[in-house]
Structure 1
Amino acid sequence: MITRTRRLLALGLAGTAALAALTATTPATAATPGAAPARANCPQLSKDLPWYGDNRAKLQKMIDERGTCSGRHDGPRPVAAFDWDNTVVKNDITDGTLAWMLRNDKLLRPKSWRATNPWLTAAADRALTRACGHGPAGRPLPTSDRPACADEIMEIRSTAKTMGGAEAFAGTWNHRRTVPEYAWIPQLFAGLKPATLTAYAKQARAENLAAPLGTVQTVGTHKVAGYIRYYDQQKDLIRTLKAAGFDVYIVSASSEVVAEAWSGGVGVDAAHTLGIRSLVRGGKLTTGIAGCGDVKDGPGAVIPYIDGKRCWINQEIFKIKGAEAWRQQDPAHRIALGGGDATTDVTFVGDATGAHLVLNRNKDEVMCRGYDNADGRWVVNPMFIDPLPRKSGAYACSTTGYTNTDGTLGPVRRADGTVVADQQDLIHG
């Protein structure tokens, strides 16, 4: 059955604590042209938390138009959906949890490395076997004492290559529905009880929240981010949306169990947290992953990734089943606000009918669409902590900004088929 667990390295290694504490903002303007005057009883975004330019006013206008102050009281509640890693928090909870588990010998040895993921190569199998040694399946991997073992796992997770540079995954998959190295980490959690993984994720959460800004930790020989922070602006946005009557969801390419251990920190419960949903057998997580739409449960052919996030939102929030869940729906069955930071989020963020919020991490397709701003509703903001500087050169929107289903690159196109011109990076740290 499917766990719901109460429903079931781009690691931001940036800089020093001083730089990390910087916010990427300029003073916000008082209002967006054409915005209706705020009413006293309308939930308001905090004016003490800085946003770039007039972004706060744009979001407030959308909240007023779609929420309880709109005067519309019939019909379903408006929906807002957010990616998690580097959107609601700074840094990555999967990487934070994995690092903690590797340092504390909490991963269990699989019966076979090849069996963990159908795309794992023979070269990766050999590298993992050589680095991690042999032992009984189901026993803890000695990753704290064998840095080579931790290194192979971290390298495959972050680069999809072995420490020796060999490709770790090969074969055919839909590159807009899954990415093997993302699916592989929840598959490494196989054999654990969901409650056990929750406990590990919470311990990693406490450690990362307590660590000073800018902390770097060592896993094997990898230097990775050792801190995570909730963005105050996003916590306030979610609070305001909920107060204005929005139904707020998280949709993440992290393990759903791990995401649930974090989402309560912004007032989002497990029932409103969507992630990679591992299958459970005999009370333990397996390498199986829940399917979506017309894709059945299996080895991870679909996860909440690019078009997969649309499918999960359509299926779980709007109850649209089968192949139809992959298609963009009519405005009444789409989210009002979508928030993300990367191309993994571009489809569902683009589906939003009220505002498309993007934090700038220099990811091509989502930034091409954000700067093109075809419908006038894209809201681009630098990261709130340790923002990236201006990207060198333009985004190659007209040639290689779009990832095709076979993994090849092509031009980013608007809904009418016209090609988006290359875009300069205008909103940055």
Structure 2
Amino acid sequence: MRQLLAWTLAAAAVLAAAPTAHPDGRTACPRLTGTWYGDNRAHLQQAIDARGTCSGRPGRPRPVAAFDWDNTVVKNDVTDATLAWALRHDALLRPGRWTDTSAWLTATAERALTRACGTGPAGTALPTSRNARCTDEILEIRERGTTMSGAPAFAGHWNHRRTVPQYAWVPQLFTGRTPAELASYARAARREALAAPAGSTRRVGTHTLPASVRYYDQQRDLIRTLRRAGFDVYVVSAGSEPVTEVWSRGVGVDAAHTLAIRSVLDRRGRITPWNEGCGGVPATRGAVIPYIDGKRCWINQEIYGVHGPAAWQRQPWPHRPAIAGGDADTDVTFVGDATAVHLVVNRNKPELMCRAYDDADGRWLVNPMFLEPLPRRTAPYPCSTTAFTAPDGTSGPVRRDDGSVVPDQRDTVY
């Protein structure tokens, strides 16, 4: 009886997602399923019906939908899961000097890493599985941008709306490995993370990290429905591209539709500390990655063929995603570019939530995290004072397109 009920429910879900036919023979757009906050599912369905090639308007170009990956399509961070696996399996290679990995790594951080990880021939495996001090220094720099002693790990000048050094640093840590090797680490980490109990943790060094990663059922269904409705669906992430590609296949998004940090390879096909550039900026050691404005640049360049400095600018309506989704300030620019729906998973990130709750164009949808949603933020978001991060790293007010300041916003969707 229980099995029959399961089959019945599964069949009902398939029928709900299946396209129906109009009386004139046209195929209607497929239907979303699953539980969403408030009337978010209805608004998403309206956008699918209006913009999908299933809408009965022949000759229209395929619309685009773009999604951040970590904590937007899945719960937790897949690049961090891969790094944790690599540290537990001695998969990182020793650099000649730690400052070879990042243009901004401080002398203090290099000394801390050298003391913790020891010395040895460049290109040999770091013994991180049995050296907690080395593992801890790497994880602390990745997580907080500081050494274990609390000293800044990165210093210098960078555009804070185009990169953040500790994000760029993760692919740089895999220097000397091939993309295929890195993908194999990601697959091993994925198997572990999907098998680990939901919400469980793991000790790596002395750090406690999430052990599990879960695909959000609602986002998997949304992506499947969008693809069946004729959308080109892309993932755009500030993670490492070989890692993100391993995971994005799980929602039917192939490597050609996965945009992330793309490392430059040496003549032997091995990862280097350099990554490909965007918007007229050449390859750098992390100065330009798919981060805040960088995500817009990569979408404009790789999807719409806009090259040079123009790729940093908001494009005309036909050359922007119809639907875009994200969970953090790193997503705010490309999510704001969407022409039909700006979908936000609420993780209490200030600039993104200021724009979402201000809802200047009436197209912003806020949804609590689909698993283990955060409690309500008690203090208003400081939209009128400090929620915006300028290119030089200073804080300021969030402004609308017309220059007016967004007032402070209260957290209402949690």
TM norm. shorter chain > 0.5? yes
- The equivalent position to 2:300 in structure 1, one of 293, 306, 314, is 314
Q: Deviations over 1:195-245 (max 9, x none)?
A: 111101000000000000111001100001000000000000000000000
Q: Which residue of 2 is the match for residue 92 of structure 1?
A: 77
Distance apart, 1:263 and its partner CA: 0.5
| Pairwise CA distance, 1:40 | 6.9
> 395, 399, 402: which is aligned to 1:416?
402
Structure 1 position 230 matched with structure 2 position 199: no
Tell me the residue number matched to 2:32: 45
**Aligned partners of 2:356, 2:110: CA distance in 1, in Å?**
40
Name the residue aligned to 2:94. 109
Spell out, residue by residue over 1:154-194, the C-alpha distance to the aligned partner (whole angstroms, 9 max, x if none): 00000000000100000000000000000001000110011
- In the alignment, the residues of structure 2 paired with residue 220 and residue 309 of structure 1 have an alpha-carbon distance, to the nearest angstrom, of 32
- Structure 1 stretches of 5 or more lacking a match? 1-38
Shift of residue 76 of structure 1?
1.8
Superposed counterparts of 1:151-166, under 5 Å = 151-166=136-151
Q: Which amino acid aligns with 1:302?
A: V
Matched, 1:170 2:159: no
Q: Structure 1: which amino acid aligns with 2:31?
A: Q
State how far apart, in whole Å, the 1-side matches of 2:165 and 2:199 are: 29
Of 49, 55, 68, the match for 2:40: 55
Choose which of 305, 321, 330 in structure 1 pairs with 2:316: 330
Question: Distance between the aligned counterparts of 1:127 and 1:153, measured in 2?
Answer: 10
Q: Which amino acid aligns with 1:88?
A: V
The amino acid across from 2:312 in the alignment is W
Partner Cα distance (1:72, 1:418) in 2? 38
The alignment of Structure 1 onto Structure 2 pairs a total of residues equal to: 389
The CA deviation at 1:70 is: 2.5
Structure 2 CA distance for aligned equivalents of residues 69 and 200 of structure 1: 39
Partner in structure 2 of residue 12 of structure 1: none
Q: 2:151 and 2:109 mapped to 1: Cα distance?
A: 7
Q: Which amino acid aligns with 2:394?
A: T
Q: How far is the alpha carbon of 1:294 from its aligned partner?
A: 1.3
**Which secondary structure does the structure 1 equivalent of 2:296 belong to?**
helix
For the pair 1:219 / 2:241, whether they are aligned, the reply is: no
Letter in 2 for 1:41: A
Residue 122 of structure 2 corresponds to: 137
Q: Name the SS of the counterpart of 1:257 in structure 2.
A: helix
- TM-score normalised by L of structure 2: 0.93
Kindly indicate which of the two structures has a greater share of residues assigned to helix.
2
| 8 Å Cα contact 2:29-2:55 kept in structure 1 | no
Take 1:392 and 1:136, find their aligned partners in 2: how far apart are those partners?
A: 52
Do the aligned partners of 2:279 and 2:308 also contact (CA within 8 Å) in 1?
A: yes
Tell me, yes or no, if the aligned pair for 2:27 and 2:54 is still in contact at 8 Å. no
2:237 corresponds to which residue?
Answer: 252
TM normalised by structure 1 equals: 0.90
- Look up the equivalent residue of 1:192 and give its one-letter code: R
State the distance in 2 between where 1:367 and 1:410 align. Answer: 15
Q: CA deviation at 1:327?
A: 0.2
Greater RCO (CA < 8 Å, at least 6 residues apart) = 1
Quick one: which of 277, 284, 288 aligns to 2:270?
Answer: 284
Q: Deviations over 1:394-421 (max 9, x none)?
A: 0000000100000000000000000000
Could you tell me the percent identity over the aligned residues?
66
CA distance in 2: counterparts of 1:402 and 1:41, whole angstroms: 41
1:364-409 CA distances to partner (integer Å, 9 max, x unpaired)?
0000000000000001000000000000210000000100000000
Paired residues of 2:28 and 2:55 also in contact (CA < 8 A) = no
Aligned positions of 1:75-90 closer than 5 A? 75-90=60-75
1:387 maps to 2:373: yes
* 1:109-141 Cα distance to aligned partner (Å, 9 max, x none): 111101110100000000000000011111110
Which segments of structure 1 move beyond 6 Å, counting only runs of 4 or more? none
